[in-house]
Amino acid sequence: MSPLTQKSARNILLGQDNNALVFLFAVNSLVFVLINFIRIVYFLSDIPLEFFNKQILDWFTLSPVPEVFFARPWTIFTAMFTHLSIWQLISTLLWLWAFGYILQDLAGNSKLLPIYLYGGFVGAVVFLLTNNLFPVLERNILTTPAMMGGGAAVMAVALATTTLAPDYRLFPLINGGIPLWVLTLVFVAIDFATLSGGNAGTGAAHLAGGAIGFFFVKQLQKGKDWSAWMNALVDWVDNLFNPEKKKEQQKQSEKHFYRANRKPYEKIANITQQKLDDILDKINQHGYAFLTDEEKAFLKRASDQDL
């Protein structure tokens, strides 16, 4: 099996460590199952669904009414993982997989979750501000539906992926492939078509999510990683609940040859499984774009020899 095939297999199976795509799939699905299980219990108990909405659903969704929001501030985060309709969930997961898979392939596992959270959070803030600052919306705020779903978060992932790799092509063996930006246009068109006639605040939230995804990548290209503090926090919490780990654990990246002071190997070095694994680990952590020219050449030679 070639190294590129090995990497592809790892991603398609969605089973490697720290896979943010698996985590997001799991959280969205679990919240959906939990809410709908309770909904079915209400239905079978002959309790009106209005009570379900007030007693259960409203504690997950983001209300535009300030008094309600300040009583349930956590909904600014839970709303982005909450789906009541199976079709809404499927749509979110399909588009998340389409763009998130590519993003992880190019940028590693450490960027997807922060972009999703940034998009969902900024989208929620814009939803609140839009509905409360514009009089035409504010006068109807008590009848405005609460916001839920990962629309703004997935929009952030889509725009971040497209900004990172505008020339990326899907199905490259078919007439040169389909440019990624075409898929993005289709996604944006479908997304806003489904929002037409709805609350303008939700549309503004999705636009804000896309904008934060765009600026995230632009800052990353300038060397400013907005995800660094999130990943550091996750590592700290992970170490906190894993006392068997050494407090001064060496960073994973420092274990590999690409952080050493000496050259890892010459371009003419023999291809070994260990070196190949090191490169695949680097791709998994940081993305293919962070490989050096020498590492890319090594990977190509290994692929040609079908190591």
Residue type, 124: A
| DSSP secondary structure string for all residues of 10-33 | HHHHT-STT-HHHHHHHHHHHHHH
Residues 20 and 113: beta-carbon distance below 8 Å: yes
Closest-CA residue to 274 (of 260, 289, 249, 257): 257
Burial (0-12, 13-18, 19+ Cβ within 10 Å), 59: middle
Q: Which of 208, 230, 187 is nearest to 97 (CA)?
A: 187
pLDDT along the chain (307 residues), means of 10: 46 56 96 97 94 95 94 96 95 96 89 96 95 79 86 96 90 80 93 78 93 95 90 82 60 52 54 74 71 77 68
Three-state SS for 54? helix
CA dihedral 98, 26, 199, 202 (to 10 degrees): -60
What pLDDT does residue 102 have?
93
Token readout for 99 is: 């763009």
What pLDDT is recorded for position 256? 52
- In the chain, % helix, strand, coil (3-state, to 5) comes to 70, 0, 30
* DSSP H or E stretch at residue 172: none
Give dist(CA 13, CA 117) in Å, integer. Answer: 24
Provide the token pair at 274.
């260990």
In angstroms, rounded to a whole number, what is the distance separating the alpha carbons of residues 128 and 116?
Answer: 18
Residues in the chain: 307
Q: Which residues contact 177 (CB under 8 A, 6 or more apart)?
A: 169, 170, 171
Is 178 in contact with 170 (CB distance < 8 Å)? Answer: yes
Q: Which domains does the chain have, with CATH numbers?
A: 7-226 (1.20.1540.10), 251-304 (no CATH)
In Å, how far are 86, 179, 210 from 79, measured between CA atoms?
16, 32, 17
- Please state, in angstroms and rounded to a whole number, the distance separating the CA atoms of residues 33 and 31: 6
Residue 62: φ, ψ to 5° = -95, 110
At residue 170, what are phi and psi to the nearest 5 degrees?
A: -90, 145
Q: Which residue has the tokens 């960027």?
A: 111
The pLDDT assigned to 195 comes to 79
Please list, residue by residue across 23-48, b when 16 or more beta carbons sit within 10 angstroms of its beta carbon and e when fewer do: ebbeebeebbeebeeebeebeeeeee
Q: What is the reported pLDDT for 246? A: 52
